[in-house]
Each structure stands twice: as C-alpha cells, then as structure tokens.
Structure 1
Amino acid sequence: MKNIIRGIRRHHLQRLKKARASDHAIGASRYGDSAVLGRHVNAPVKCSCWMCGNPRRYFDEKSRQERIRDEMFMTDSATMGTVGFDE
C-alpha cells in the first residue's frame, strides 16, 4: 500500500512539473532550472505582495465564510431580540 501511495505522489509531482514548466511565474531566465521548478510546484505563488497575497492581510477583508457567519449571527440575534422581549 505504501508503494502505491508513493507512486501516486510521484505521478502527481511529474504531472505538476510538466504543467508548470512553462508558467510565467518562474521567469524566462530560469527555465530549465530544476530547483526553481520544484519550488514552483510546491508553492506556485511567486511572491506575497499586495497584488498576489492574502486580501485579509492587506485589505482587512473577511473571507466569504466569515461574512456568511456574521450575516447569520446578525439575523439570528435580530430575531431573538425582538421575539423574546416583546411578550
């Protein structure tokens, strides 16, 4: 079983290397460099600047899941507050 999992992992690694070998994030001067390609397969983002990075870090935006949770909380608290105290 362990050899099968290892084979699948190697297959996916070769597949990703082939797919990302011509990616523009590597840079034209570094094509053919196997170390750069290996790093790009494991971490495909070239940098973490404000354009490429996490929007929560740079713009203080909430994720979609957090916005949904906050909206559900607000609607639940609004309905709970009006029903419980009017009687």
Structure 2
Amino acid sequence: MKDLIRGIRRHHLQRLKKARVTDHAIGESRQGDSAVLGRHVNTPAKCSCWMCGNPRRYFDKKSRQERIQDEKFAADSLMTGVENFEEVMQ
C-alpha cells in the first residue's frame, strides 16, 4: 500500500512538472532550472503580496464558512436571548 501511494505521488509530481515547464511565473531566465521548477510545482504562488496572498491577512475578510458560522451563531443568540452579538464574539 505504501509503495502504491508513493507511486501515485511521484506520478502527480511528474505530471505537474510537465504541465508547468512553460509557466510564466518561473521567469524566462530560470526556465530550465529543475530546482526552481520543483519549488514552483510545490508552491505555485509566485509571492504572497496583497494581490496573491490570503485576503484574510490583508483585508480582514472572513471566509465563507466563517460568515455562515457567524450568522448561525447570531440566529442562535437571538433565540436564546443574547442581545449583543459583538460582545459574545469577543
């Protein structure tokens, strides 16, 4: 079983390397570098700037699941009689 999982992982690694050989995120001058290609396959984002990075980090936006959970909590709080939702969340 362990060899099967390792084989699948190696297959996907080779498949992704083949697909991303001509990716523009690597850069024209480093196109043939296998170390850069391996790093790009494992971490496809070129950087973590405000455009590429996590919106929660830069804009304090909550994920969809967090917003749904907050709405459910607010509805439950109204049913149980908690009046100030913001105080409960702190």
**TM-score of Structure 1 vs Structure 2, range by shorter chain:** 0.7 to 0.9
Gaps of 5+ in 2: 83-90
Q: How many corresponding residue pairs?
A: 82
Structure 1's consecutive aligned runs of 4 or more residues displaced over 6 angstroms after TM superposition are: none
CA RMSD for the aligned pairs? Answer: 1.4
Question: What's the counterpart of residue 29 of structure 1?
Answer: 29
Gaps of 5+ in 1: 83-87
Question: What's the counterpart of residue 70 of structure 1?
Answer: 70
Structure 2 distance, partners of 1:66, 1:27, is 37
Q: Which has the larger radius of gyration?
A: 1
Fraction of identical pairs, as percent = 79
Question: What's the counterpart of residue 87 of structure 2?
Answer: none
How far 1:4 moved relative to its partner? Answer: 1.6
Q: State the structure with bigger RCO (CA 8 A, min sep 6), 1 or 2.
A: 1
Question: What's the counterpart of residue 57 of structure 1?
Answer: 57
Structure 1 distance, partners of 2:37, 2:52, is 19
- The structure with the greater share of residues assigned to helix is 1
